[in-house]
Amino acid sequence: MSKKIIPYQNSDLSKKGQVEKMFDNISKEYDILNRVISFGIDISWRKKIVKILKSKNPSTILDVATGTGDLAIELVKTNAKKIIGLDISKGMLDVGINKINHKNLNNTIEMVIGDSENLKYDDNFFDAVTVSFGVRNFESLDSGLREIYRVLKTNGSLVILETSNPTKFPFKQFYTVYSKFILPTIGKIFSKDKLAYNYLSESSAEFPYGEKFNNILKKIGFTNVVDFPQTFGVATIYVASKN
């Protein structure tokens, strides 16, 4: 990102520590607010990730920044034997574990607390790695992507879903108003953490989406990098390989 965006400007915590605190704070209302803020369209985006990966027949998948586990749960449809959902926030993981228990998916999905920039897995360990709305929260984008590259098997697949910004009229103008004013207002009204949704809006606006992010992935070493803008460009799915 062109400048460092953090949740709490007056905090002595690192960005990583602040992100952990923020998601712990909003974990209980996160799923409901996420549906409201995205108008539920995020569900269809995750289904597209599953469709992309299912054709590749992964046996093991790491879902980085898994949050409350929505994507990890959806990834069961790829028929992977093992899915690990990793997140820095215990609060988010606790919500996810309850959902997984309710769906009786414990034998397939394991939720673990961990640092995306210091993964406790061997080199070339996973057939696929996914990240859904998480890479912009990395303390160091390069470090997090290099760790993903390290644990991904040769010929493995990376699929990232992240926010982006529409470029065409009138979607660009509407999204600017929505993200700068409406989204933070919804957060202030319904969330106990009044700063969290300001951060989520600002970090989205500053994220290097599209070709800029493609180039970052290529710099790390990923190949076959392609991007698929979603819903007029408010989000983008990135697909890449490790050769």
pLDDT for 1 equals: 45
pLDDT for 3 equals: 63
Which tens digit of pLDDT belongs to each residue from 108-133? 999 999 999 999 999 999 999 999 99
Lowest average pLDDT, out of 32-46, 131-145, 209-223, goes to 32-46
Q: What is the mean pLDDT of residues 164-182?
A: 87
Percentage helix, strand, coil, to 5, in the chain? 50, 20, 30
Which helix (H) or strand (E) segment holds residue 64: the answer is: strand 60-64
CA–CA separation, 237 vs 159, rounded Å? Answer: 7
pLDDT for 218 equals: 98
Residue 166, phi then psi, degrees to nearest 5: -60, 150
For helices 15-37 and 90-102, give the axis angle rounded to 10 degrees.
40
Which tens digit of pLDDT belongs to each residue from 4-14? 899 999 899 99
Q: Under CATH, what is the fold of the domain 19-164+207-241?
A: Rossmann fold (3.40.50)
Lowest average pLDDT, out of 28-32, 147-151, 173-177, goes to 173-177
Sorted by sequence, the CB contacts under 8 Å of residue 179 that are 6+ apart come out as: 201, 204, 205
Which tens digit of pLDDT belongs to each residue from 29-39? 999 988 888 88
pLDDT band at 179; cut points 50, 70, 90: confident
Which of 68, 70, 73 minimizes the C-alpha distance to 83? 73
pLDDT for 94 equals: 98
Please give the residue that has the higher pLDDT: either 79 or 39: 79
Would you say 51 and 78 are in contact if contact means Cβ atoms under 8 Å apart?
no
Q: What is the mean pLDDT of residues 171-179?
A: 87
Q: Is the dihedral of CA 164, 46, 223, 168 positive or negative?
A: negative
Domain ranges of the chain: 19-164+207-241
Instruction: Write the DSSP symbol of residue 78.
Output: G
Mean pLDDT rounded to a whole number for the chain: 94
CA–CA separation, 27 vs 6, rounded Å? Answer: 18
pTM: 0.94
